[in-house]
Amino acid sequence: MAVAMQGATKVWQRRDRRTQFTVWAAWLAGAAVFAYCFQLISDKTIWVFVLDAPAQAGDLAVRMVPPDWAFITQLGRPIWDTINIATLGTAMGIAIAVPVAYCAARNTTPSVAFVRPVALFIVVSSRSINSLIWALMLVTIVGPGVFAGIIAIGLRSIGFCAKLLYEAIEEIDENQVEAVRATGASGAQITAYGIVPQVLPAFAGISVFRWDINIRESTVLGLVGAGGIGLELNGAITTLAWTQVSLILLVIIATVIVSEWVSAKVRHAII
Amino acid sequence: MSIAVAAPRRWSKPPLIKSARLRWGLGLGAAVYLALAFGTTDVNWNRVWEGLPRGAQFVTAFFPPDFISRWDEIVEGIAESIWMTVVSTVVGIALSVPVGIGAARNIAPAPVYYFCRGILAVSRSFQEVILAIFFVKLFGFGPFAGFLTLSFATIGFYGKLLAEDIEDMDPAQAEAVRATGAGWLQWINFGIQPQVMPRMIGLGLYRLDINFRESAVVGIVGAGGIGATLNTAFDRYEFDSAAAILLIIIGIVMMLEYLSGYLRRWVQ
């Protein structure tokens, strides 16, 4: 603890002088970087538009109320598509993520030197690219529609699921595996009876968690043409049908809240 | 004395879901759902088939990617993404602290609690891209809209986790600080902040990482950053430039992830 002398009295201080300077310098450096970056953004901004924004927002809000409730009859199909994209995409992602995770976990991988780096590279590249970018790419390749969306969500989910799953595999209790091995079980039997039961709850939790995230992500895939409710949203915005836009936003919020509720319930039941 | 021979019994693995009815119900439900989903998803297989050569072309574009011909645009886009990431993470976290404190059930009065939880729910329900569309409409094209989008999204993420962390804290420490006669701000600063700080620093770095990834996407709807460059590259079928951009994004994300992992270990 640092104590400073003020005349004859001792005063408690949180840090000694040296640490205090280091902390202060770190804050200064951080503030400088922040100010510099903000300056660069501000140079690229047309401030007239920014100052005008509150008026614009008010205007937009007036035009969005009340929502065009009759339009909801046309939203059934897009919502169904959105849910399908999320669900089938999650299923596809998990189906690929399981072998990848098996190869990436240090204790189950067939080869630490060759297979593991490849698996880790798959995980990283799938995780760094957002599903919207995957969709952008796939729409140019397989054409617009739900199919591109499913594959985009699937590809994006591989990395997320495989990462969490291989971490779960690495954290298993080796004693159980050892016990199964001691009975003379083969490699496949060790996996099935020693490893799988230990990671199954984590696996179910991860799947549901990713499904919940995917519902949210699949609401926007339509903006680049990959099907779902985003397509309707894009259409409504480009035709300036603001009452339809507000209805779509409400439907999206409702879907997301319901999926979050389902996911929380299921995870609660598992754990 | 004869040895009793037990009837031969076979052990079988206990299932994950114990109730048999629920297990079979879920299986049946999944089968019905899959049948419906596949039945109503129309895939234009001809179009997919036609696209495959284009897909192959895209894969070959990675060997080698073309960094040169669009280099200036790429540098500009990446720089914009980085500015947006830094500024929005700082502003987002600064704004999420009061919201997070307000959304913690154990220290906020009920009206404040519901108001702050409402902000968090709205911010978390909408995907960054939807927010970006509206911010672009209101504030014009460019990185400023992206910065606002990412800041707003950060509030939802960081505020929620902060609130949960405060709810899980040890009340005895906060009580001890209060017993010294500390004011409200002192109470927050010395009783609560030290308890949540280590985890929140780690989450801040994690959010920086997420914000960079998202900054690559908001550009698609006009909110600045590398996304706009990437979108243009795809629209012109310049796959080799797109491959270069993707590789740069992957590289930066990997670097950030490594860096934040290192910093987190150092902090804790």
Query: What does pLDDT average to in each consecutive run of 10 residues of chain B (268 residues)?
Result: 67 76 86 86 80 81 79 88 92 93 89 92 85 88 90 92 90 90 89 87 86 88 86 83 87 84 75
User: Using the beta-carbon criterion (under 8 Å), do A253 and B125 form an inter-chain contact?
Assistant: yes
Which among B26, B32, B126 is positioned nearest to A255, based on CA atoms?
B126
What is the percentage of chain A residues whose pLDDT exceeds 90? 26
- pLDDT classification of A271: cutoffs 50, 70, 90: low
Most A CBs within 10 A among B59, B217, B255, hence the mutation to make, goes to B217
Residue B62 at interface with chain A, using a CB cutoff of 8 Å: no
Using an 8 Å CB-CB cutoff, list chain A residues near B83. 37-38, 40-41
Most B CBs within 10 A among A36, A130, A163, A200, hence the mutation to make, goes to A130
- The answer to whether A214 and A157 have CB atoms below 8 angstroms apart is yes
Check if the interface score ipTM surpasses 0.85: no
Residue A1, pLDDT score: 57
Which among A232, A250, A165, A173 is positioned nearest to A201, based on CA atoms?
A165
Q: CA of B89: which chain A residue's CA is closest? A: A34
Of A41, A49, A216, the CB nearest to B143: A41
User: Using the beta-carbon criterion (under 8 Å), do B79 and A57 form an inter-chain contact?
Assistant: no
Q: Measuring CA to CA, how many Å separate A28 from each of A25, A33, A34, A36, A134?
A: 5, 9, 10, 12, 39
Q: DSSP letter at A191?
A: I
Give the residue ranges of DSSP H helices in chain B: 20-40, 45-61, 71-102, 110-125, 128-139, 143-167, 171-179, 184-186, 193-218, 226-235, 239-267
- A227's enclosing H/E stretch is none
Q: How big is chain B, counted in residues?
A: 268
Task: Compute φ and ψ for A5, nearest 5 degrees.
Answer: -100, 125
pLDDT tens digits along A143-173: 888 899 999 999 999 999 999 999 899 888 8
Instruction: Please give the Cα distance from B24 to A24 (Å, whole number).
Output: 62
Q: CA of A86: which chain B residue's CA is closest? A: B37
Residue B2, pLDDT score: 57
Of B16, B133, B249, the CB nearest to A129: B249
Residue B6, pLDDT score: 66
Which among A131, A128, A123 is positioned nearest to A86, based on CA atoms?
A131
Q: How far apart are the first and last CA of chain A?
A: 43
pTM (predicted TM-score): 0.82
- The answer to whether B228 and B58 have CB atoms below 8 angstroms apart is no
Joined tokens for residue B263: 């910093």
Strand partners, A10: A5
Using an 8 Å CB-CB cutoff, list chain B residues near A43. none
pLDDT tens digits along A40-98: 888 888 888 888 888 888 888 888 888 888 888 888 889 999 999 999 999 999 999 99
